[in-house]
């Protein structure tokens, strides 16, 4: 079943002579349970595409379907709720709150749900245990290695049990060995049924996925 579908998506900045197409008439279909990489040079539209998938940004024109539901007309509050329930994010530089412990960073997505403090903590600890970082729960990000921080970020992405994981250069700030370990975690999650979409510049990372989507100048090539 298709879980994500773009129909003629455009994202335009500026106007007249200053018009820039970050995405230009883009059509994409991603099936539930796929692990897909998105590749292309800098400025090709990769991050814009991922941000639209995750409702961080909205297209200028075209239609975005998630689970066969078209979302362009939904109010922002509904989009935020769907994003929180359906989509988990992993970023290149971890995007952890420096003043929060690892546990509190993982809990963050649950704070938008009607759960007790105890239930949020239990779910977060369970998720950290699965990733193998429960022992780091009281550490601040500055006390963690890059690989440990990315594992915290993965736990945060997973704690709400989303169907889709969007990862923007998840190994870009890591050494090769640690990057492979992170990819092995993502492969395991994919084998457990998660749909995973990864933006990457690394062909070795891309080749670990089921399929590669290549972008250039805002268009699929």
2 in any annotated domain: no
Percent of the chain surpassing pLDDT 90: 62
How many structural domains is the chain composed of? 1
Report the pLDDT averaged over residues 202-213: 92
**Partner residues linked to 162 by β-bridges:** none
- What is the structure's pLDDT at 83? 82
What CATH number is given to the structural domain containing 186? Answer: 3.40.50.300
Please give the pLDDT value at position 77.
Answer: 65
**Domain, as residue range, for 175:** 34-62+81-220
146-158 and 176-191 are packed helices; what angle lies between their axes, rounded to 10 degrees? 20
Mean pLDDT on 116-132: 93
CA 188/CA 15 separation, integer angstroms: 44
pLDDT above 70 as % of the chain: 97
Report pLDDT digits (tens) over 56-86: 888 999 999 998 888 866 666 677 788 888 9
Per the listing, tokens 């080749």 go with 207
Provide the pLDDT for residue 94: 87
What pLDDT was estimated at residue 75? Answer: 63
Residue 15 included in any domain? no
Q: Is residue 57 part of a domain?
A: yes
pLDDT in tens, 21-56: 899 999 999 999 999 999 988 888 898 999 999 988
Angle at Cα 108 formed by Cα 145 and Cα 197, nearest 5°?
A: 70
pLDDT at 99 over 80: yes
**Contact (CB, 8 A) for 155 and 177:** no
DSSP letter assigned to residue 76: H
**Residue closest to 218 by CA, chosen among 26, 78, 3, 19:** 26
134-172 pLDDT, tens digit per residue, is 999 999 999 999 999 999 999 999 999 999 999 999 888
Domain annotation covers residue 28: no
Q: Which H or E run contains 57?
A: none
Average pLDDT over the chain, rounded to an integer:
90
Instruction: Give the pairing type, strands 211-216 and 219-220.
Output: antiparallel
Q: What pLDDT is recorded for position 167?
A: 94
Structural domain contains residue 19 = no
Residue 173 has pLDDT above 70, yes or no: yes
């Amino acid at each position: 079943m298709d879980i994500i579908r773009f129909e003629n998506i455009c994202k335009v900045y500026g106007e007249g002579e200053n018009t820039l197409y970050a995405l230009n008439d883009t059509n994409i279909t991603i099936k539930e349970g796929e692990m897909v990489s998105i590749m292309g040079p800098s400025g090709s539209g990769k991050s814009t595409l991922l941000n639209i998938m995750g409702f961080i940004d909205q297209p200028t024109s075209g239609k975005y379907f998630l689970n066969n539901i078209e979302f362009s007309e939904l109010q922002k509050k509904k989009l935020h709720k769907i994003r929180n329930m359906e989509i988990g994010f992993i970023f290149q530089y971890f995007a952890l709150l420096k003043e929060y412990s690892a546990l509190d960073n993982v809990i963050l997505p649950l704070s938008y749900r009607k759960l007790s403090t105890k239930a949020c903590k239990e779910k977060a600890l369970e998720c950290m245990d699965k990733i193998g970082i429960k022992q780091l729960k009281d550490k601040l990000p500055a006390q963690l290695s890059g690989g440990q921080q990315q594992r915290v970020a993965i736990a945060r992405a997973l704690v709400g049990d989303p169907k889709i994981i969007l990862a923007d250069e998840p190994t870009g700030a890591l050494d090769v060995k640690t990057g492979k370990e992170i990819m092995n975690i993502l492969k395991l999650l994919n084998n457990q049924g998660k749909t995973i979409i990864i933006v990457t510049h690394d062909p070795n990372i891309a080749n670990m996925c089921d399929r590669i989507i290549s972008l250039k100048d805002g268009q699929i090539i």
